[in-house]
A and B are shown apart, each in its own frame.
Chain A
Amino acid sequence: MSTATLSLGRSAAMPLRQAVRRAERPARNLAVLMVVPALLFVIITFFVPILKLLATSVQNPEVASGLPQTMIMLKDWDGHSLPDEKVFAALAADLDAAHKTSSAASIGKRLNYEIPGARSLLVGTARVVSAFSPPYREAFLARDAAWGNPEIWSVIARNESRLTPFYLMQAVDLRQDAEGHLQSAPADEAIFLDVLGRTLAVAGLVTLSTLILGYPVAYMLTQAPARIAALMMLMVLLPLWTSLLVRTTAWVVLLQTDGVINDILIGLHLTAERLQLIFTRFGTVLAMTHIQLPFTILPIYSVMRTIPATHLRAARSLGAPPVAAFWRIYAPQTIPGVTAGCLMTFILSLGYYITPALVGGPRDQMLSNFISTYINRDLNWNFAAALGAVLLLVTLGIYGLFLKLAGADKIKLG
């Protein structure tokens, strides 16, 4: 007792909590130090690019910085009549400058997203604007009557801001009319919600089929004798060690109309004509299921491994027939693994790109394929970023929904 009082004597100056914190500081510092490299790596290579991508989806510098004087003059414009001479004069000066710095094309391209024909109008006018003389309004209208359409002016005026919701709205098939009201895109342009729905449907189908195929495999992995289980595990893991591209290409070889599967079906006289397997939804889901199978199996297996074999025996001894014992006692205990495995496969499937591109038909292209098209072919980074942002949001939303429905303790990702 006396030693305790002695040591407490000094603690009047330093409370116990503080002493504990001080004593544990070296260990805590070491822990932080060990995590820092990986943390920095993730921040630099993952979080920063994502933030940059999100920013790109709302950035809109082309028009505002390309036509600075016009923007100033358009501030006094009433928004529906034809702008006055001052605005045309400013545009002439801006276009001349743009032509000299070769930036007219990018301004035109940006306006073209919102009003078809704007690009050729702008580039064509910029090429000859240096020859214009006052009155500029007449000169512009003489060059192209399209300059008399107030719509192009309202689009220019709307892009005065360097931030725009345009791309994000377009990614969910919305747009602003001339007055700035939200409306749905015309049917022939409203394809992105459809693509999003298709992406979710394919991911859902893949998840379901990996679960149906993988659950019994995971169960057998836990039940088989050690040597057979090791062999099975190798077969589960082997696909993971093979490149995704190689596996997808293999499916192309198998599925194509002159491919192995059709040859076998014809050879066995199971079908008279060659089946269209490649470039179909079926082919896409099949190939993706194959690739995703280990991601569903492994979390289920890791949970199943912790369920004692005696639980099933106990249930049987208490009177439950084998199937009932399995469904009432075993299956409920596997739910954390099932949720984790399905979540993993579903989220990974949402971002699939190569497999739908090679095995899927035009109606099976997923959101990632469109993102890639907008980056590689259309050079429209902003819209690609907006599609990416929508995919990210949907993914996070589904993850949150999973957590809420299943309960965070019901998902065992480790």
Chain B
Amino acid sequence: MNGTIPLSHHSASLEPPQAEPARKPLVQFQSVKKSYDGKSLVVKDLNLDVGEGEFLTMLGPSGSGKTTTLMMLGGFERPTSGHILLDGKAVEKLPPEKRNIGFVFQNYALFPHMTVAENIAFPLRYRNRSRAETQARVARALSMVHLDTFGDRKPGQLSGGQQQRVALARALVFEPSLVLMDEPLGALDKQLREHMQFEIKKLQVELGITMVYVTHDQSEALTMSDRIAVFHDGMIQQCADPVTLYNAPVNRFVASFIGDNNLLPCQLKLADKDRLRVAMADGSELDAINPPAGRMKDLSLSIRPERIAVAGKTSSPLNNRFQARVGSLFFQGDHVRLTLEAFGSDALVAHVAARDAAGLRAGDRAAFEVPFADCRILEA
């Protein structure tokens, strides 16, 4: 089992998913606002639908409002205004125990005085299941997370990864319509985290669960999600599938938060029907896409480091070609990370194939190119 293989359904093609069949919304946020102190809003006018069977990730830095949003959905915080609909019914006044939502907490929140099996049986106790059914369900849940023989242990005797699986089994054993996860993998080391991403995603697809997942780890979000809602400053900046989010960020925050990115100041030089041209800080000009809709000032050009190539290694007539001085080179195995001096910046980052960078030395001047379709103009 290799945890690094992305399993999400769009991994087969890197094009944005084509017109998916519209999912019936299970969760709806309608103009939800939340303030703790009565002065500032932690969540500002949130509108978001989560479809049935969808894996939606709320991604953002700490303090962006994503966890507050999750807590409101789980029933631990009341919205200051607005409505939260679950299966069409407003639930914002319903206590957590009446919502039938599975919740996996950041530090698992396993009950240390109960065995693993008792932990998993806990939600069944409040659903009037017979003893035999409870036992069968607990056994099935344990086997689902590959912990068949661990039922009699106490949580304290398990490793972090095992505890994580128990928390998962406990949140799934009562077959909730919706499962919420609050940075569930934050405490695990990198390798285990990647493995668990794979397992959680697999379970979600197999069981057809609707999942709302909170993380600040963008690679985790890209790996697992059907859609990602990028939170910043109490607002959703962009909500889209991972490929769209990566390739077509709508603003500077999304562009820099998802993946590495170069954001360079630029001015619009030419805006024809079928051609956009911008002038960079050093006076050089580039072809670009994504014409600004509003004000023309304070524009940025977004270029992903891996879209920049050493000139002559590709052969597309659409490429922007430019000269740059190589500042530094770092060998990264599959690629070489270069910092270039170009467009008035001395820290333009480029990831080029290791064999293309073979002849380059720090201080060299060389020609590079970038497809115009990968130069996006961003307004804010």
Residue ranges of A at the interface with B (Cβ–Cβ < 8 Å): 308, 310-311, 313-322, 324-325, 328-329, 332-333
Chain B residues near A310 (CB-CB < 8 A): 105-107, 109
Most chain B CB within a 10 A radius of its CB, from A310, A319, A321: A319
Shortest beta-carbon distance from B187 to chain A in Å: 12
Q: A319-B123, A319-B127, A320-B122 are in contact. Are A314 and B109 (CB under 8 A)?
A: yes
Shortest beta-carbon distance from A338 to chain B in Å: 13
- Does B174 belong to the interface (CB within 8 Å)? yes
Report Cα–Cα, A328/B121, bound state, in Å.
Answer: 13
Q: Which of A308, A318, A329, A333 contacts B126 (CB 8 A)?
A: A318
Report Cα–Cα, A2/B105, bound state, in Å.
Answer: 50
Q: Tell me how many residues of B have a C-beta within 8 Å of chain A.
A: 26
Chain B residues near A321 (CB-CB < 8 A): 95, 97, 126
Report Cα–Cα, A86/B122, bound state, in Å.
Answer: 87
Q: Does B109 contact A308, Cβ atoms closer than 8 Å?
A: yes
Chain B's closest residue to A318 (CB) is B123
Chain A residues near B100 (CB-CB < 8 A): 319
- Does B113 belong to the interface (CB within 8 Å)? yes
Most chain A CB within a 10 A radius of its CB, from B99, B102, B123: B123
Q: Does A311 contact B109, Cβ atoms closer than 8 Å?
A: yes
- Does B101 belong to the interface (CB within 8 Å)? yes
Q: A318-B122, A318-B170, A319-B174 are in contact. Are A313 and B127 (CB under 8 A)?
A: no
Q: Does B76 contact A313, Cβ atoms closer than 8 Å?
A: yes
Q: 8 nearest interchain CB pairs?
A: A319-B126, A314-B109, A318-B123, A317-B103, A310-B109, A316-B96, A310-B105, A332-B113
Task: Report B72-108 CB contacts with A as 1/0, cut-off 8 Å.
Answer: 0011100000000000000000011101111101110
Chain B residues near A319 (CB-CB < 8 A): 97, 100, 123, 125-127, 174
Report Cα–Cα, A339/B238, bound state, in Å.
Answer: 53
Report Cα–Cα, A111/B96, bound state, in Å.
Answer: 77
Q: Does B174 contact A318, Cβ atoms closer than 8 Å?
A: yes
Question: Can you spell out 20 A-B residue pairs with CB atoms less than 8 angstroms apart?
Answer: A308-B107, A310-B106, A310-B109, A311-B111, A313-B96, A313-B103, A314-B105, A317-B75, A317-B101, A317-B102, A317-B103, A318-B103, A319-B97, A319-B100, A319-B123, A319-B125, A325-B97, A328-B122, A332-B113, A333-B113
Shortest beta-carbon distance from A92 to chain B in Å: 77
Shortest beta-carbon distance from B48 to chain A in Å: 20
Report Cα–Cα, A324/B111, bound state, in Å.
Answer: 14
- Does B63 belong to the interface (CB within 8 Å)? no
| B336-366 contacts to A (CB < 8 Å) | none
Chain A residues near B174 (CB-CB < 8 A): 318-319
Chain B residues near A308 (CB-CB < 8 A): 107, 109
Shortest beta-carbon distance from B67 to chain A in Å: 12
- Does B112 belong to the interface (CB within 8 Å)? yes
Chain B residues near A325 (CB-CB < 8 A): 97
Chain B residues near A332 (CB-CB < 8 A): 113
Report Cα–Cα, A333/B174, bound state, in Å.
Answer: 25
| B115-168 contacts to A (CB < 8 Å) | 122-123, 125-127
Chain B's closest residue to A314 (CB) is B109
Q: Does B96 contact A317, Cβ atoms closer than 8 Å?
A: yes
The SS class assigned to the A binding surface is helix
Shortest beta-carbon distance from B50 to chain A in Å: 17
Chain A residues near B101 (CB-CB < 8 A): 317
Report Cα–Cα, A310/B127, bound state, in Å.
Answer: 21
Q: Does B97 contact A329, Cβ atoms closer than 8 Å?
A: no
Report Cα–Cα, A325/B75, bound state, in Å.
Answer: 15
Report Cα–Cα, A325/B100, bound state, in Å.
Answer: 15
Q: Does B107 contact A316, Cβ atoms closer than 8 Å?
A: no
Report Cα–Cα, A316/B109, bound state, in Å.
Answer: 12
Q: Which of B109, B122, B170, B171 contacts A313 (CB 8 A)?
A: B109
| B282-339 contacts to A (CB < 8 Å) | none
Q: Does A314 contact B97, Cβ atoms closer than 8 Å?
A: no
Report Cα–Cα, A354/B121, bound state, in Å.
Answer: 53
Report Cα–Cα, A319/B123, bound state, in Å.
Answer: 6
Q: Does B126 contact A313, Cβ atoms closer than 8 Å?
A: no
Chain B residues near A317 (CB-CB < 8 A): 74-75, 96-97, 99, 101-103, 171
Report Cα–Cα, A317/B97, bound state, in Å.
Answer: 5
Q: Does B109 contact A320, Cβ atoms closer than 8 Å?
A: no
Shortest beta-carbon distance from A323 to chain B in Å: 11
Report Cα–Cα, A325/B76, bound state, in Å.
Answer: 14
Chain A residues near B107 (CB-CB < 8 A): 308, 310
Shortest beta-carbon distance from A124 to chain B in Å: 72
Report Cα–Cα, A316/B111, bound state, in Å.
Answer: 13
Shortest beta-carbon distance from A98 to chain B in Å: 69
Chain A's closest residue to B98 (CB) is A319
Report Cα–Cα, A266/B83, bound state, in Å.
Answer: 55
Q: Which of B76, B105, B126, B171 contacts A320 (CB 8 A)?
A: B126
Report Cα–Cα, A321/B97, bound state, in Å.
Answer: 6
Report Cα–Cα, A318/B100, bound state, in Å.
Answer: 7
Chain B's closest residue to A313 (CB) is B76
Report Cα–Cα, A367/B146, bound state, in Å.
Answer: 61
Chain A's closest residue to B106 (CB) is A310
Chain B residues near A320 (CB-CB < 8 A): 97, 122, 125-126
Q: Does A316 contact B95, Cβ atoms closer than 8 Å?
A: yes
Shortest beta-carbon distance from B30 to chain A in Å: 22
Q: Does A329 contact B111, Cβ atoms closer than 8 Å?
A: yes
Chain B residues near A329 (CB-CB < 8 A): 111
Chain B residues near A328 (CB-CB < 8 A): 122
Shortest beta-carbon distance from B216 to chain A in Å: 18
Shortest beta-carbon distance from A281 to chain B in Å: 37
Chain B's closest residue to A333 (CB) is B113
Most chain B CB within a 10 A radius of its CB, from A311, A313, A332: A313
Most chain B CB within a 10 A radius of its CB, from A316, A325, A328: A316
Report Cα–Cα, A322/B95, bound state, in Å.
Answer: 9
Shortest beta-carbon distance from B108 to chain A in Å: 8
Chain A residues near B125 (CB-CB < 8 A): 319-320
Chain A residues near B127 (CB-CB < 8 A): 319
Chain A residues near B96 (CB-CB < 8 A): 313, 316-317
Chain A residues near B76 (CB-CB < 8 A): 313, 316
Chain A residues near B126 (CB-CB < 8 A): 318-321, 324
Report Cα–Cα, A332/B123, bound state, in Å.
Answer: 18
Chain A residues near B112 (CB-CB < 8 A): 333
Q: A320-B97, A329-B111 are in contact. Are A313 and B123 (CB under 8 A)?
A: no
Chain A residues near B122 (CB-CB < 8 A): 315, 318, 320, 328
Shortest beta-carbon distance from B112 to chain A in Å: 7
